[in-house]
Structure 1
Amino acid sequence: MNIAGLSRPVGCPLAILLLASVSGCAAQSSPTASTKTEPKPIPVRTVSVTERAIPRTTTQPATVYPYFRAEIRPRVSGYVADLEADIGDVVGAGDVLAIVDVPEMLEQRNIIDARIARNQAREQQATAGVTLAQANVKSAESRLGQAESEVHRAKAHLAAADAEFTRIDDLVKRQSLESRMLDESRKKRDGDRASLKAVTSAIEAARADVGVAKANELSAQADLQAARSETAISESQRKEIDVLIGYATIRAPFDGIVTERTIDPGDLVTVNQDDRKGKPLFVISQVDRVRVHVPVPEAEAAFVNPGDPVTLTFPSFSGEKAIDASVTRLAHALDPSTRTMLVEVEVPNPRRKLIPGLFGQATITLESRASANVLPARAVRFSEQGQAYVYVVGDDETVSIAEVTTGHDDGQTIQIVSGVEKDAQVIDAHLKRFTDGQRVRRLEN
Structure 2
Amino acid sequence: MSETTQQTQTNETTTNRKPMYVAVGVAAVALVAAVAWGIHDRVHAESELKHETLAAAIQTVSVVHPGGASAGGAAGQELILPGNAQAYVDTPIYARTGGYLRKWYANIGQHVKAGQLLATIETPELDQQVEAAQADLKQAQANLELARTTNERWQALVSKRAVSKQEADQAEATLQARLSVVAAAEANVRRLQQLQQFERVTAPFDGTITARNTDVGALITAAGGGSGQTGTAQELFHLASMGKLRVFVAVPEVYSTEVQDGMKVTLTQDATPDEKFVGTIVRNASAIDQSSRTLNVEVDVDNPKGTLLPGAYVFAHFNLAGKAHAVTLPSNTLLFRSEGLSVGVVRDNHVQLTPIKIGRDFGSSVEVVSGLSAHDAVVLDPSDSLETGMEVKIAQPKGEQK
Would the TM-score normalized by the shorter structure come out above 0.5? yes
| Inter-partner Cα distance in structure 1 for 2:126 and 2:94 | 19
The equivalent residue for 2:43 is: none
Q: Alpha-carbon deviation of 1:399? A: 7.2
AA aligned to 2:323 is A
Equivalences for 1:317-336 in 2 at 5 Å? Answer: 317-320=272-275, 322-336=276-290
The equivalent residue for 1:14 is: 29
AA aligned to 1:283 is H
1:109 counterpart (130, 137, 143) = 130
Q: Alpha-carbon deviation of 1:257? A: 0.3
For the aligned residue pairs, the C-alpha RMSD in angstroms reads 4.5
1:345 counterpart (299, 307, 320) = 299
The equivalent residue for 2:201 is: 250
Is residue 60–residue 361 contact of structure 1 (8 Å, CA) maintained in 2? yes
Equivalences for 1:16-415 in 2 at 5 Å? Answer: 16-17=31-32, 50=70, 51-52=72-73, 54-55=75-76, 58-140=79-161, 209=162, 212-271=163-222, 280-320=235-275, 322-365=276-319, 370-374=323-327
AA aligned to 1:310 is V
Q: Alpha-carbon deviation of 1:437? A: 6.8
- TM-score normalised to the size of structure 1? 0.60
| Inter-partner Cα distance in structure 1 for 2:263 and 2:173 | 70
AA aligned to 2:106 is A
The equivalent residue for 1:29 is: none
- TM-score normalised to the size of structure 2? 0.66
1:133 aligned counterpart, secondary structure: helix
Write the deviation string for residues 98-123 of structure 1: whole angstroms up to 9, x where unpaired: 11111111111011111111111111
Tell me: CA distance 1:136–1:9, structure 2 relative to 1, closer, same or farther (3 Å): farther
Relative contact order, higher structure (CA 8 A, sep 6+) = 1
AA aligned to 1:294 is V
Write the deviation string for residues 247-296 of structure 1: whole angstroms up to 9, x where unpaired: 22212121100000011111112246699967521100010011011011
The equivalent residue for 1:167 is: none
Tell me: CA distance 1:425–1:226, structure 2 relative to 1, closer, same or farther (3 Å): closer
Is residue 403–residue 419 contact of structure 1 (8 Å, CA) maintained in 2? no
Write the deviation string for residues 312-357 of structure 1: whole angstroms up to 9, x where unpaired: 222222223x333221111223334433221101111111111112
| Inter-partner Cα distance in structure 2 for 1:325 and 1:261 | 31
The alignment status of 1:436 with 2:369, answered yes or no, reads no
Is residue 332–residue 341 contact of structure 1 (8 Å, CA) maintained in 2? yes
**Unmatched 5+ stretches in structure 2:** 1-16, 38-64, 335-344, 378-391, 397-402
**Amino-acid identity (%):** 27
AA aligned to 2:314 is G
AA aligned to 1:371 is A
Is residue 401–residue 436 contact of structure 1 (8 Å, CA) maintained in 2? no
AA aligned to 1:138 is S
The equivalent residue for 1:28 is: none
Tell me: CA distance 1:422–1:227, structure 2 relative to 1, closer, same or farther (3 Å): same
2:324 aligned counterpart, secondary structure: strand
Q: Alpha-carbon deviation of 1:54? A: 4.7
Tell me: CA distance 1:102–1:7, structure 2 relative to 1, closer, same or farther (3 Å): farther
- Of the two, which has the highest radius of gyration? 1
Tell me: CA distance 1:417–1:277, structure 2 relative to 1, closer, same or farther (3 Å): farther
Is residue 91–residue 255 contact of structure 1 (8 Å, CA) maintained in 2? yes
1:362 aligned counterpart, secondary structure: strand
| Inter-partner Cα distance in structure 1 for 2:313 and 2:159 | 87
Write the deviation string for residues 370-392 of structure 1: whole angstroms up to 9, x where unpaired: 224448xxxx9x9xx9879xxx9
| Inter-partner Cα distance in structure 2 for 1:311 and 1:332 | 22
AA aligned to 2:279 is A
Write the deviation string for residues 224-268 of structure 1: whole angstroms up to 9, x where unpaired: 111111111111111221222222221212110000001111111
| Inter-partner Cα distance in structure 1 for 2:245 and 2:148 | 62
| Inter-partner Cα distance in structure 2 for 1:59 and 1:438 | 33
| Inter-partner Cα distance in structure 2 for 1:79 and 1:223 | 43
Q: Alpha-carbon deviation of 1:221? A: 1.4
| Inter-partner Cα distance in structure 2 for 1:403 and 1:315 | 43
| Inter-partner Cα distance in structure 1 for 2:66 and 2:78 | 26
